[in-house]
Structure 1
Amino acid sequence: MRLEDLLPSPEPVRFVAADGTETPAPAGHVRPSDELLVEAHRRMVLGRRFDTQATALTKQGRLAVYPSSRGQEACQIAAVLALRDDDWLFPTYRDSVALVARGLDPAEVLTLLRGDWHCGYDPAAVKVAPQCTPLATQTIHAVGLAEALRRKGEDGVVLALIGDGGTSEGDFHEALNFAAVRRAPVVFFIQNNGYAISVPLAQQTAAPALAYKGVGYGVVSEQVDGNDLLAVLSVLTTAVQHARSGRGPYLVEAHTYRMEAHTNADDATRYRDEAEVTRWAAADPLARLQTYLRHRGLIDDEAVRTAEDEAEAFAAEVRTKLNADVVADPRTLFDHVFAEPTAQLVEQRAQLVAELDAGEA
């Protein structure tokens, strides 16, 4: 493959400016359909309300921690819409909005952050890997599953979400190299929100953009305005089609911003100033999409109210489910350690059951 075929665009791909006005169509990129954009808007409204509700649940003691993705909704929703139902998604801990947009039960999504289970849903049933807390380890798992799909002759694609901080981890680079050599059908989607907790991008890399990190491994790469839903969806759709057609992996970097702190346990004012947050607020992805859709006559006040009403009802459902106390059964500690329990686990479980039975007698 020629070097020029690997290089990302010199500037991030963009269809819509920060003020919601349409810009000249980028060469080689196709604008998503109107129907898909309207659906993306609906899911973004719902996703933002879910994110706000989850943040409130941490203050009420119903969640142990919550990493907000407010400001990154264009990335989260586009990642889901670019995939088929039989494709796989490998999320990080910050990608709960993407999981909800894919149709997973919000209570099951938040189980990890509540501290009840490492994963509250069946990954095989929904084609979504467990949300990954260690940085970049999910990228290697994603490549492994993508390679399995390739060997089986299936045309499924794996999309691995990763933050900018994760690209500094060795696992990320090993995943890129293996995926390129094996021509695995995997898309690496970097949500560059400016900070790895409190470490700014300039202290992580001297590269002109994270998208260039794919070039050295022979991975086709692109960068995109991560707050422009049209651009993110267009680029990710191209990346998924590339991987599905057998041409190997694809890397996409989205330039976006984390509007809230790293988690509810973080004080973001210690490492960034309010002026920076205000500048990025003017490029809000939801407001940008709404303005664009209004200008084109694709939505109106009634459509926005309908989406917001649906989101409020969804938030109420989330509150109801999370306000219910969990009934924990100690016996389940042994259920998912190994596919076939070892002799030691069988013995330990029997001892626990005996103690529980004695206590209930």
Structure 2
Amino acid sequence: MKHDDLLPRETPVRLIDETGTTVADDAYPMPDAEVLKRAYRGLVEGRRINDQAGALVRQGRLAVYPSSHGQEACQVAASLVLGEHDWLFPTYRDSVAVIARGVRPADAMVLLKGDWHSGYDPAEHRVAPQATPLATQLLHAVGFAYAAKRRGEDTVVLALCGDGATSEGDFHEALNFAAVFHVPVVFFVQNNEFAISVPLSRQTAAPSLAHKAVGYGMPGERVDGNDVAAVLAVLGGAVERARAGGGPSLIEAHTYRMQAHTNADDDTRYREREEVQAWIARDPLTRMRAHLSAHDLLDDATEEQIAAGAEEIAAALRAALNADSDLDPEDLFRFVTAERTPQLEEQWQLLRGEIERAALTDAGGHR
């Protein structure tokens, strides 16, 4: 492949503008109507999940929630472009993508509730556990893709990360290994402009994050991350390229984090409200709604049905997280090692003794 073929476009790929109008592109065709309608349903459900999770944080039912409000186009597309045997390696902000891949919403929130490291079986859904440390999942994704290639499996791995992760050493190591060993992995960077409070301008001097790809010998591409049609086309093309033996790619989606980093963050300390307001007009949900309505692909009855389905998901999530967890204290020791070490056994016996003494106290009154 020539070096020029590795470079991304000067402007991100776009197929639908902010008003819902089609933008012609010679390289990337518009996804078909059925795929766009599925994507719109995913956007509505994703927005409702984000809103509901935020409410659950305020109610004390979730310990923390990194919202992807405004980034739902990336989340939904990441799920839709994958095949049955493909794998998704998400970040902590990718709960909507995890759920869209088939994980039960309540199970996807277990990590954020603080009960377990992962509330779902990764092998069942082909979704790796959500990762809190930046960029560590990229190395795992590359290793998984390398193993799949060695076994001759029809598997493509989609590795998600944010712009902040591109400043980590793990990002370099993952891309370098993937390119050298030509593994079927797609790196999908959701550039939402901030690594917590650090703006992109303080993270890199590169023309774009997609330009980093050429240094590793893989193609890079930029896409409007709030245009779900364009993300589907670009990301889908990279997945199929990897499946056909074309090796890894780096896709940068230009989007925006509409809400704070998490509920523990005060984003008013590092960005102006006017900046946030300017991105409302680029909302991926309203953009796709306008496009589908203009092409007679969405009517009021369908809109109501989709909204009702999203509300059912939110209601189920509320019910699951409002129920108290049935916790077993011995689980703290049960899954640390295959066979419990003497030290862990000693610690468990100490804790069990304290629990039993507390139970006797409660049964017999205060001593």
TM-score using structure 2 length: 0.94
Q: Which moved further from structure 2: 248-257 or 344-353?
A: 344-353
List runs of 5+ in structure 1 lacking aligned partners. none
Q: Provide, for residues 247-302 of structure 1, a one-character-per-residue CA deviation record: whole Å limited to 9, x for no partner.
A: 21111000001111111111111111111111110000000001001111111121
Q: Which moved further from structure 2: 296-305 or 72-81?
A: 296-305
Considering only CA atoms, is the larger Rg found in Structure 1 or Structure 2?
2
CA–CA separation in structure 1 for the residues paired with 2:358 and 2:264: 38
Matched residue type, 1:266: D
CA–CA separation in structure 2 for the residues paired with 1:112 and 1:46: 20
Q: Which moved further from structure 2: 332-341 or 144-153?
A: 332-341
How far residue 345 of structure 1 moved from its aligned partner, in angstroms, is 3.7
Q: What SS is found at the alignment partner of 2:127?
A: coil
CA–CA separation in structure 2 for the residues paired with 1:187 and 1:281: 29
Q: Give the 3 Å change call, closer, same or farther, for CA 190–206 of structure 1 in structure 2.
A: same
* Partner of residue 11, structure 2: 11
How far residue 360 of structure 1 moved from its aligned partner, in angstroms, is 6.2
* Partner of residue 152, structure 2: 153
* Partner of residue 273, structure 1: 272
Q: What SS is found at the alignment partner of 1:68?
A: coil
Matched residue type, 1:282: A
CA–CA separation in structure 1 for the residues paired with 2:338 and 2:256: 40
Q: Give the 3 Å change call, closer, same or farther, for CA 154–231 of structure 1 in structure 2.
A: same
The answer on whether the counterparts of 2:101 and 2:127 sit within 8 Å (CA) in structure 1 is no
Q: Does 1:20 align with 2:54?
A: no
Q: Provide, for residues 57-103 of structure 1, a one-character-per-residue CA deviation record: whole Å limited to 9, x for no partner.
A: 01101111111100000000000000013211111110011111112
Q: What SS is found at the alignment partner of 2:279?
A: helix
* Partner of residue 365, structure 2: none
* Partner of residue 55, structure 1: 54
Equivalent residues in 2 for 1:104-123, closer than 5 Å? 104-123=103-122
* Partner of residue 207, structure 1: 206
How far residue 351 of structure 1 moved from its aligned partner, in angstroms, is 5.9
CA–CA separation in structure 2 for the residues paired with 1:280 and 1:330: 46
* Partner of residue 181, structure 1: 180
Q: What SS is found at the alignment partner of 2:252?
A: strand
CA–CA separation in structure 2 for the residues paired with 1:278 and 1:116: 36
Q: Provide, for residues 134-156 of structure 1, a one-character-per-residue CA deviation record: whole Å limited to 9, x for no partner.
A: 11111001101110100111010
The answer on whether the counterparts of 2:105 and 2:313 sit within 8 Å (CA) in structure 1 is no
Q: What SS is found at the alignment partner of 1:251?
A: strand
Q: Give the 3 Å change call, closer, same or farther, for CA 350–85 of structure 1 in structure 2.
A: farther
Q: What SS is found at the alignment partner of 1:330?
A: coil
How far residue 234 of structure 1 moved from its aligned partner, in angstroms, is 0.4
Equivalent residues in 2 for 1:1-361, closer than 5 Å? 1-24=1-24, 26-342=25-341, 344-346=343-345, 348-349=347-348
Q: Which moved further from structure 2: 333-342 or 181-190?
A: 333-342
The answer on whether the counterparts of 2:186 and 2:242 sit within 8 Å (CA) in structure 1 is yes
Matched residue type, 1:288: R
Q: Provide, for residues 294-315 of structure 1, a one-character-per-residue CA deviation record: whole Å limited to 9, x for no partner.
A: 1111111211111111111111
TM-score using structure 1 length: 0.96
Q: What SS is found at the alignment partner of 1:19?
A: coil
